[in-house]
């Protein structure tokens, strides 16, 4: 098709995902009128409308839905060609898009970024913090190159690279410091503070607490681990947090920390990337650097680590 460019495809792909000209323009770092002109130009080349324009959002026409699927496939293939060229050049350089889950990002990223930029000074690191479901979708759709998540993911299209494991610890009010550590069953009888639905750490904590076969009786939710710790400090209940969060989260709250007896609740943190990504060797090398960052935080190498 004469005149069709990769820019047309990327702009339309952004519009199809966002369902809104304003949000798509923001994602593409251009103005909304400029995006509208590009989409109109594309429709003129095709001789048919791709979107149905409404006041608040857009809807794809049947042609638009088919075109969006093909455009995504083409853009993914082009990205993989670029990665193939990067892999042949040797040391990793250029853009690397990394997704990180919220219960890892604030604690691992400072040390991880420092080590990665020291080892790969030519790397343009692009980070996105989002929940597991979002980063995995972005990874599968080639909007990310790799992600740091809790394993296992068990997605056939992705390779899993184990990094380290860490225990969960109990955070409770300072006045409870001398009390015995509650059992999972006893936890369920207390006011338990957990992350809101969608966070994998919530599911992992509940899995430990529900080992007795019971369900929480008095559950409260927060949007972040920092919020949960502050709620504990205010006397609203108890919570579980991953060990790597301790240095940052316990500094400004009147709380006490206790460790569970064996078998302790824990999680495995790892990297995942598409099996088709040509940068396999370079990403494995990055994994070694991330593992070193985890070790600096006091985490343990995962027994499944390569």
Final residue belonging to a domain, choices 85, 110, 125: 85
Q: How many angstroms separate the CA atoms of 209 and 215, rounded?
A: 8
Are both 184 and 149 inside the same structural domain? no
Are both 13 and 62 inside the same structural domain? yes
- Closest Cα to residue 93, out of 21, 145, 35, 37? 145
Average pLDDT over residues 115-134: 91
Whole-number pLDDT of residue 9:
87
Percentage, residues of the chain above pLDDT 70: 92
Average pLDDT over residues 83-95: 67
Q: What domain range includes position 69?
A: 6-85
Whole-number pLDDT of residue 292:
93
> Can you say whether residue 263 is alpha, beta or left, with left for phi > 0 and alpha for psi between -120 and 50 degrees?
beta
Angle between helices 21-28 and 6-18 (to 10 degrees): 130
Instruction: Mention every residue, 6+ apart, whose C-beta is less than 8 A from residue 233.
Output: 173, 174, 253, 254, 255
Q: How many domains does the chain have?
A: 3
Final residue belonging to a domain, choices 61, 85, 109: 85
Average pLDDT over residues 82-105: 79
Q: Using pLDDT thresholds of 50, 70 and 90, give the confidence band for residue 211.
A: low
Average pLDDT, the chain: 87
Are both 201 and 258 inside the same structural domain? yes
Angle between helices 105-119 and 280-296 (to 10 degrees): 120
- Is 188 or 99 the better-scoring residue by pLDDT? 99
Q: Using pLDDT thresholds of 50, 70 and 90, give the confidence band for residue 162.
A: very high
Using DSSP, state whether 28 is helix, strand or coil.
helix
**Alpha-carbon distances of 231 from 67, 110, 176, 227, 265, rounded to whole Å:** 49, 25, 15, 6, 22
**Is residue 305 a part of any domain in this protein?**
no
**CA torsion angle 83 284 274 91 (round to 10):** -10
Q: Using pLDDT thresholds of 50, 70 and 90, give the confidence band for residue 87.
A: low
- For residue 132, the domain's CATH number is 3.40.190.10
Residue 223 phi/psi, 5-degree rounding, is -90, -10
**Is residue 1 a part of any domain in this protein?**
no
pLDDT tens track for 226-270? 999 999 999 999 999 999 999 899 887 889 999 999 888 999 999
- For residue 25, the domain's CATH number is 1.10.10.10
pLDDT at 28 over 60: yes
CA-based max dimension of the chain = 76
Q: How many angstroms separate the CA atoms of 239 and 20, rounded?
A: 39
Task: Decide if 221 contacts 194 (C-beta within 8 A).
Answer: yes
**Is residue 280 a part of any domain in this protein?**
yes
Burial of residue 46, with CB atoms counted within 10 A of its CB: 0-12 exposed, 13-18 middle, 19 or more buried: middle
């Amino acid at each position: 098709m004469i005149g069709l460019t990769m820019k047309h495809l990327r702009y339309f792909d952004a519009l199809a995902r966002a369902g809104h000209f304003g949000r798509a323009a923001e994602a593409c770092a251009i103005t909304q009128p400029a995006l509208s002109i590009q989409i109109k130009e594309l429709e003129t080349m095709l001789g048919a409308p791709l979107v149905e324009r409404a006041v608040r959002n857009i809807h794809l026409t049947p042609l638009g839905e088919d075109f969006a699927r093909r455009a995504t496939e083409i853009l993914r293939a082009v990205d993989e060609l670029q990665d193939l060229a990067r892999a042949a050049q040797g040391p990793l350089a250029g853009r690397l898009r990394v997704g990180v889950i919220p219960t890892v990002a604030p604690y691992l990223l400072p040390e991880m970024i420092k080590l990665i930029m020291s080892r790969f000074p030519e790397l343009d690191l692009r980070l996105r913090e989002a929940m597991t479901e979002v980063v995995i979708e972005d990874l599968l759709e080639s909007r990310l190159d790799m992600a740091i998540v809790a394993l296992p993911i068990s997605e056939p299209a992705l390779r899993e690279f184990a990094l380290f494991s860490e225990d969960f610890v109990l955070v409770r009010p300072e006045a409870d410091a001398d009390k015995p550590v509650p059992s999972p069953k006893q936890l369920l009888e207390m006011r338990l503070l957990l992350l809101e639905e969608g966070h994998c750490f919530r599911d992992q904590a509940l899995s430990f607490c529900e080992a007795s076969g019971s369900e929480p009786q008095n559950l409260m939710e927060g949007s972040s681990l920092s919020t949960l710790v502050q709620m504990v400090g205010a006397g609203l209940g108890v919570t579980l947090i991953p060990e790597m969060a301790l240095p940052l989260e316990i500094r400004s709250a009147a709380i006490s920390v206790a460790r569970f007896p064996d078998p302790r609740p824990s999680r495995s943190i790892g990297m995942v990337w598409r099996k088709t990504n040509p940068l396999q060797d370079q990403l494995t090398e990055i994994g070694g650097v991330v593992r070193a960052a985890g070790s600096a935080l006091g985490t343990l190498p995962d027994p499944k680590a390569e």
